[in-house]
Amino acid sequence: MDSFKLPRIAMPPLALPDAVREVLEEAEAKLAGRPRLLQQFKNCFPNTLETTTKLMDDGTTFVITGDIPAMWLRDSVEQLMHYVPLAKEDPGLQRILGGLIKRHAWYIGIDPYANAFNETANHWHWDANDQTDMSPWVWERKFELDSLCFTIRLAYRYWKETGLTDIFDETFHKAMRSIVEVWRTEQRHAENSPYRFMRTNCPAIDTLRNNGLGMPVNYTGMVWSGFRPSDDACELHYNIPSNMFAAVSLSQMQEMARWVYRDEAFVREMEAFEEEIRHGIELYGIYRHPEFGRIYAYETDGFGNYSLIDDAGTPSLLSIPYLGYADHDDPVYRNTRRFILSKENPYYYEGTAAKGIGSPHTPPGYIWPMALSMQGLTAATDDEMLEMIRLLEATDAGTGFMHEGFHADDPAQFTRPWFAWSNSLFAQLVYRAMKKGILGGKEGETP
């Protein structure tokens, strides 16, 4: 079949774990003075459990994105990430989160180049005519460097939060090795990679040029990526935020390999690899901007060409502290943040209803709630965090949920009414503000 046209059907709702119910009860008290925000939080915080999550008979967990009946490695992690801090004493959440990690590891064993997978080997594909090595398990095979990083992010955070190690079986160990092997191959994509991807009768952002190989790149030590976190093709194939994420993931995998698998040879291999990527980022990924100073580019090809933008999806330049690559006070990050939150970023929009970052994935003038949530999560001040919450509270078009994008002048014009990742990231932001004790006041006010 061509691009998917079957009905989008929600998963049967799961019974909410006790820890999730307790957070909703906490919100009833802490957000009592802001009924609109309270209702949004009550809708969004449990949304991925109520509409997208399925416990499988084999002990794993399958999570659809929302309005597409497939599981993205990236999205599924971020849809559940806000539950990780609650998991230590909650067996129900441990079953859900641990099951997702196990399913990720199994999928990576099937195809580490794929970004999205089916629930069964049903041969469903976004486009059945894609020219690449497909599997009946694979929904889409766009190689996105960040996808594999999200698997590691969830496993590492779950391990650190709960202390549980049952997820670290031999399947996960093999998945780690597969990740490193693929990334090593993609350091020298043109010379070593078997990966090709072409799609016909589609926008240019949905396929790779040069007979599926992508545009030429120079060796930098970084890892090549075919597509961005938005699922759009890279213009220049070293995506800087994704390489930052890969460096952080390699650091986290070193801990797992050392303390769980006692594999010191693997640790040393990954340590050297991480250093190569970080060196490449700092040498090739920084642009000297005449107004903002030294900033991180969004993409480069290693030949001196740069894409000076930021895209709303995570990983982004905005999300650098969220990823753990650098903190809020890093001078290059501060310069980069000023650039991407200005009109110098071609995907930064200001309108009568809101201002923020959008994406070439959606129409011009559309701001992504995920970018507003990330701006709040990475804010250096409580005032900025609260302003982002106020904007999100006011721009849901009365639906009580977050969307993919909305028009900067008219939030009633929006894309994707059901987008679980956006709901989850918003919920993570509001919950963090609740724990900081900075929410209060009346609807629409910033305390």
86, 19 Cβ separation under 8 angstroms: yes
Q: Which has the closest alpha carbon to 114: 122, 217, 177, 106? A: 106
Q: Tokens 């559309």, residue?
A: 366
- How many whole angstroms separate alpha carbon 246 and alpha carbon 269? 14
Q: Does residue 4 surpass a pLDDT of 50? A: no
Arithmetic mean of pLDDT, 414-420 = 91
For residue 377, the number of C-alpha atoms closer than 13 Å in the C-beta half-sphere is 24
Residue 444 has pLDDT above 50, yes or no: no
Q: Residue written as tokens 């046209």? A: 5
Phi and psi torsions of 335, nearest 5°: -65, -45
DSSP string, 76-113: HHHHHGGGGGG-TT-HHHHHHHHHHHHHHHHHHHH-TT
Predicted pLDDT of residue 275 = 98
Confidence bin at 6 (pLDDT 50/70/90): very low
Exposure string (b/e) for 117-156, b if CB count within 10 Å is 16 or more?
bbbeeeebbbbeebebebbebbbbbbbbbbbbbbbbbbbb
pLDDT of 23 above 90: yes
- The type of residue at 174 is K
Please report the pLDDT score of residue 5 as a whole number.
44
Domains and CATH numbers, the chain: 18-436 (1.50.10.10)
Return the pLDDT at 418: 86
| Best CA proximity match to 390, nearest among 34, 81, 26 | 34
Instruction: Check pLDDT > 60 for residue 2.
Output: no
Encode pLDDT of 278-325 as tens digits. Answer: 999 999 999 999 999 999 999 999 999 999 999 999 999 999 999 999
Cα separation, 192 vs 181, in Å, equals 11
At 123-176, the pLDDT tens digits run: 999 999 999 999 999 999 999 999 999 999 999 999 999 999 999 999 999 999
Assess whether pLDDT exceeds 60 at residue 212.
yes
DSSP 333-366: HHHHHHHHTSTTSTTEEE-SS-EEE--TTS-TTE
- Which residues have CB under 8 Å from 416's CB, separation 6+? 66, 67, 403, 404, 405, 422
pLDDT level of residue 11 (50, 70, 90 thresholds): confident
What is the model's pLDDT at position 442? 52
Mean pLDDT of the chain: 95
- Cα separation of 226 and 208, whole Å? 7
Q: What is the pLDDT of residues 316-325, one digit of tens each?
A: 999 999 999 9
Determine the pLDDT at residue 97. 98
- Min mean pLDDT across 6-20, 25-39, 344-358 is at 6-20
pLDDT band at 13 (very low <50, low <70, confident <90, very high): confident
How do residues 316-367 score in pLDDT, each as one tens digit? 999 999 999 999 999 999 999 999 999 999 999 999 999 999 999 999 999 9
